[in-house]
C-alpha cells in the first residue's frame, strides 16, 4: 500500500512538471509567416521611401546647381556685355570695354555709324586683379562711328610690342595707341587718358591714334586730354636705329597718306614724355601739309626726345638740321619742319614749358627755341622741300 502511494506521488509530480513546461511554452507563441510579413514589408517600405527621398533630394540639388550655374553664366554675360540702346553702345566697366574691343579685333560685329558711349571711368592698369595689356584697335568695323567718352577717364592703358596684333589693314602693323590704325572716318571726343604707358617698335605712335591710313577719311578729335603719358618709341645707338618708332605724337602718331581731313580741337597734352626717331610732336607726330585743323589745343609740361642723329645720314647728325625733327604741335611732310608755330599760335593753341631734346647731340631747346631761325641753306637737305625765309611763310 505504501509502495502504491509512493508510485502515485511520483507520477503526480511528473504530471505537474509537464504542465508547467507546457504553460511556459504557451506564453511565447511561435511567429507565423503571416505575422512576420508585415515587419518585412515595413522595412522594405522604409527602404523604398528612403531611396525615393534621396532621389528627390538629388534631383532637387541638381536643379539648384543647374539654376546656380545658369544664373552665374547669365551674370557673367551681363557683366561683360555692353548695353545697347538704339544706335548707342554703353560701356561702363573694364570687362565691358575688353569684350567690346575683342569683338572689334575679331571683326564679329559691324559698328558703322554707331556711338560708343562711356558711362564711367575705366582703369586699364594691368597690375589690377584681372587686368591685362591693351591691344590697339583697327577701325575696319567702326566706319563713321563716334567714340564718346562722356567726360570720363581711361587710366593706365599699357601697350607693349607683343600687343600689336592689329586686325585689318591687310595684316600690316604701322600704329600703336588706343586705336592702332584708323582705316575709316571716325570721331573721338570728351575723353581723358591718364597714366598711359606705351612701349613701341612700330612706325607711328600716339596715345589716341597711332596711324591714320585711309585716303579721303575724316578723323576728328575733340575735347581729348592726354595726361602723364610715357611713350617709349626707342632711342637707338650710333648707326643703328632698328626697331625705333618715328612719327610720334602725344595724341596722334601720323597722317601721311594724303587726302585726309584731320581735325583736332580743344585738346590737351600735359605732363607727357615721348621718345622716337624723328617727326616728334606735342600733339601729332607728322601730317601732310594743309590737311590738319588744329585749334584751341594746349601743350603743357611736355618733353620731346628725338634720336635722328644716330642715323647714317650725315645731315641728320647736324643740330641745325635735327632741330626740325621735333615741333611743339606737329611736323609736316612736304616741308619737313618748316617753322609754322606762329600760325598755330594764332588759332588759339598754346605752349607751356615744352622741352625738345636732341639725344645724340645732347642739346635741349625750350619751347620754340631752335625753330625760329631760318635754315642757313636755301634748299632743305633732308627732302625735296625747301625752308622758306620767315617773311615768306604763310600767315
- List, for residues 129-185, the tens digit of each pLDDT value: 888 999 999 898 999 999 999 999 999 999 998 777 544 445 556 789 999 999 999
Q: Could you tell me the pLDDT band of residue 84, with boundaries at 50, 70 and 90? A: confident
pLDDT of 278 higher than 60: yes
Kindly list the distances between the CA atom of residue 225 and the CA atoms of 55, 209, 235, in Å, as whole numbers in the listed order: 63, 13, 26
Kindly list the distances between the CA atom of residue 67 and the CA atoms of 58, 64, 104, in Å, as whole numbers in the listed order: 14, 5, 32
Point out the least confidently predicted range of 37-51, 76-90, 104-118.
Answer: 37-51
Average pLDDT over residues 354-375: 81
Q: Could you tell me the pLDDT band of residue 377, with boundaries at 50, 70 and 90? A: low
Pairing of the two strands 179-182 and 175-176: unpaired
pLDDT tens, position by position, 13-35: 444 444 444 444 444 433 433 33
Q: Could you tell me the pLDDT band of residue 334, with boundaries at 50, 70 and 90? A: low
- Per the listing, cell 572716318 goes with 185
pLDDT of 101 higher than 50: yes
Separation CA 91–CA 71 (nearest Å)? 22
Closest CA relative to residue 196, chosen from 210, 212, 182: 210
Residue 80's pLDDT is: 66
Residue 333 and residue 290 in contact, taking contact as beta carbons nearer than 8 Å: no
Residue 306 and residue 280 in contact, taking contact as beta carbons nearer than 8 Å: yes
Separation CA 98–CA 91 (nearest Å)? 10
Separation CA 317–CA 382 (nearest Å)? 11
pLDDT of 381 higher than 80: no
* For the chain, percent of residues with pLDDT exceeding 70: 69
pTM: 0.76
The cell numbers describing 142, all together, are 567702326
Residue 344's pLDDT is: 86
pLDDT tens, position by position, 248-274: 999 999 998 878 999 999 999 999 999
Q: Counting every residue, how long is the chain?
A: 395
Quote the Cα angle for 387-389-395, to 5°. Answer: 100
Amino acid at each position: 500500500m505504501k509502495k502504491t502511494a509512493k508510485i502515485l506521488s511520483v507520477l503526480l509530480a511528473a504530471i505537474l512538471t509537464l504542465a508547467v513546461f507546457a504553460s511556459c511554452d504557451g506564453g511565447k507563441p511561435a511567429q507565423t509567416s503571416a505575422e512576420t510579413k508585415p515587419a518585412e514589408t515595413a522595412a522594405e517600405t522604409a527602404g523604398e521611401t528612403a531611396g525615393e527621398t534621396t532621389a528627390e533630394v538629388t534631383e532637387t540639388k541638381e536643379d539648384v546647381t543647374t539654376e546656380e550655374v545658369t544664373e552665374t553664366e547669365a551674370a557673367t554675360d551681363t557683366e561683360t556685355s555692353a548695353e545697347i540702346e538704339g544706335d548707342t553702345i554703353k560701356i561702363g566697366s573694364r570687362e565691358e570695354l575688353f569684350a567690346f574691343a575683342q569683338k572689334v579685333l575679331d571683326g564679329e560685329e559691324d559698328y558703322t555709324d554707331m556711338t560708343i558711349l562711356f558711362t564711367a571711368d575705366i582703369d586699364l592698369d594691368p597690375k589690377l586683379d584681372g587686368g591685362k595689356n591693351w591691344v590697339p584697335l583697327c577701325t575696319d568695323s567702326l566706319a563713321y562711328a563716334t567714340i564718346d567718352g562722356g567726360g570720363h577717364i581711361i587710366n593706365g592703358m599699357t601697350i607693349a610690342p607683343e600687343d600689336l596684333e592689329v586686325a585689318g589693314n591687310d595684316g600690316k602693323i604701322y600704329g600703336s595707341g588706343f586705336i592702332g590704325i584708323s582705316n575709316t572716318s571716325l570721331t573721338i571726343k570728351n575723353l581723358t587718358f591718364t597714366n598711359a604707358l606705351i612701349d613701341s617698335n612700330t612706325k607711328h605712335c600716339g596715345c589716341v591714334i597711332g596711324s591714320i591710313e585711309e585716303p579721303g577719311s575724316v578723323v576728328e578729335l575733340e575735347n581729348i586730354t592726354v595726361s602723364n603719358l610715357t611713350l617709349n618709341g626707342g632711342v637707338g645707338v650710333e648707326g643703328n636705329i632698328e626697331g625705333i618708332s618715328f612719327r610720334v605724337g602725344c595724341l596722334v602718331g601720323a597722317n601721311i597718306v594724303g587726302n585726309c581731313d584731320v581735325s583736332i580741337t580743344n585738346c590737351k597734352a600735359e605732363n607727357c614724355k615721348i621718345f622716337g626717331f624723328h617727326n616728334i610732336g606735342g600733339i601729332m607726330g607728322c601730317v601732310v601739309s594743309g590737311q590738319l585743323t588744329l585749334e584751341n589745343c594746349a601743350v603743357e609740361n611736355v618733353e620731346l626726345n628725338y634720336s635722328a642723329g644716330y642715323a647714317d645720314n650725315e645731315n641728320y647728325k647736324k643740330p641745325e638740321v635735327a632741330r626740325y625733327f621735333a615741333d611743339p604741335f606737329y611736323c609736316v611732310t612736304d616741308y619737313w619742319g618748316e617753322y609754322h608755330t606762329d600760325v598755330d599760335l594764332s588759332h588759339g593753341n598754346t605752349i607751356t614749358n615744352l622741352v625738345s631734346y636732341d639725344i645724340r647731340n645732347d642739346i635741349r631747346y625750350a619751347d620754340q627755341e631752335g625753330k625760329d631761325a631760318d635754315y642757313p641753306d636755301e634748299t632743305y637737305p633732308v627732302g625735296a622741300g625747301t625752308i622758306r625765309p620767315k617773311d615768306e611763310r604763310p600767315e
